[in-house]
C-alpha cells in the first residue's frame, strides 16, 4: 500500500493493531495539531475508497460514548 499520503500512512500505522481508536488518537496523525477533530473524516473517507477495493475497510463504531475507528479485513470482495 504505497500510494498513500504521509498522513494516511500515519493513520494506517495507528489502526494497524486492529483495535478501535478514537478520533482524538487519529487526530495526532494530522500535520496541523490545531486542526479541528472533524478534519480526520476526509482522510478516513479517502482511505476507505482505497482500501475497500482490496478487501479492507475502516469501520466506525460507537463505544464508550465516543466514535472509534478500526481497520478490518472484509469477508468478501477484493482479490482472492
pLDDT number for residue 16: 95
What are the tens digits of pLDDT across the range 27-50? 999 999 899 999 999 999 999 999
Top CATH class of 6-73 equals alpha beta
- What contacts 6, CB < 8 A, 6 or more positions away? 31
Domain layout of the chain by residue ranges: 6-73
For all residues of the chain together, what is the average pLDDT? 90
Amino acid at each position: 500500500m504505497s500510494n498513500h499520503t504521509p498522513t494516511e500512512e500515519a493513520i494506517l500505522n495507528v489502526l494497524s493493531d486492529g483495535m478501535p481508536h478514537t478520533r482524538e488518537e487519529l487526530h495526532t496523525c494530522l500535520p496541523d495539531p490545531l486542526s479541528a477533530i472533524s478534519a480526520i473524516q476526509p482522510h478516513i473517507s479517502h482511505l476507505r475508497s482505497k482500501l475497500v477495493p482490496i478487501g479492507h475497510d475502516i469501520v466506525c463504531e460507537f463505544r464508550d460514548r465516543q466514535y472509534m475507528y478500526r481497520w478490518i479485513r472484509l469477508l468478501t470482495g477484493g482479490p482472492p
